Amino acid sequence: MKNLVIVLMLALCTSCLSFTDRPFRPVRDSIAAQMPEISLQKEMGLVMGGGLFDFLDVVTRNEADLSDVDHLQVAVYQVHPRGGYVNFTDETFAASLQAKDSLLVWERIVKVKEDDEQVWVYVGLNIEENMLEAVSVFVFQRDELVLINMDGDLSDMLKYAVSPAKGHRGVYTSG
């Protein structure tokens, strides 16, 4: 019985997990077309499917309600030429996300620029259904560009994430 459970778990996890950057290829190709002076070489790609999140819901007793997540995708690219100055812009990433999913309206919600690291966070909104359907994060550090994307009906997850802060705005002051 124990062996059967292990085999079923492995089958579930491997069927919902692949090591590819295929979902990010339109993004990568769009960045390369907009910035012909650089090239992006894949270091790692990972795609986790919805079945894995359904399983996590069972394990956590539906605490975070992850079943609405369709995919979590991660890709790491080495940026060439290495050691050179690369100026990624908001427009570069917005256009590349549009190439990935043109049905969503992409808005940048976070941008952090430091000397050694830059981070952009975009949300993909389905305006017709008034839903948050995707969150994409770009992190550029030295010679690496990390792309993270989560798809699904993320509206409930957003409500869950901010619920601990509800009613506590302005309670804490710096002093």
pLDDT of residue 118: 93
Give 10-residue mean pLDDT values along the chain (175 residues). 53 58 91 94 83 52 59 90 84 94 93 91 91 92 92 71 62 53
Residue 85 belongs to a domain:
yes
**Integer angstrom CA distances of residue 59 from 54, 56, 63, 139:** 9, 5, 9, 31
Does 7 reside within a domain? no
48 part of a folded domain: yes
The residue type found at 155 is S
Q: Are 39 and 32 in contact (CB under 8 A)?
A: yes
82, with CB counted inside 10 A (0-12, 13-18, 19+), is: exposed
Q: Which domain holds residue 82?
A: 15-165
**pLDDT value at residue 8:** 47
Tell me the C-alpha distance between 166 and 143, whole Å.
39
**Each residue's pLDDT tens digit, 31-56:** 999 999 999 999 998 887 655 555 55
- Residue 45 maps to a domain: yes
Determine the Cα–Cα distance for residues 79 and 38; give it in Å rounded to an integer.
7
Cα gap 82→97, rounded to integer Å: 24
Among the listed residues 155, 142, 138, 140, the one whose alpha carbon sits nearest the alpha carbon of residue 100? 138
Residue 2 in domain: no
62 inside domain: yes
Q: Is residue 4 part of a domain?
A: no
Buried b (16+ CB within 10 A) or exposed e, 134-154: bbbbbbbeeeebbbbbbbbeb
Q: Which of 10, 31, 13 is nearest to 77 (CA)?
A: 31
Domain count, the chain: 1
Residue 174: inside a domain: no
**Predicted pLDDT of residue 168:** 59
Asked if 160 and 64 touch (Cβ cutoff 8 Å), the reply is yes
The domain that holds 22 is classified in CATH as 3.40.1000
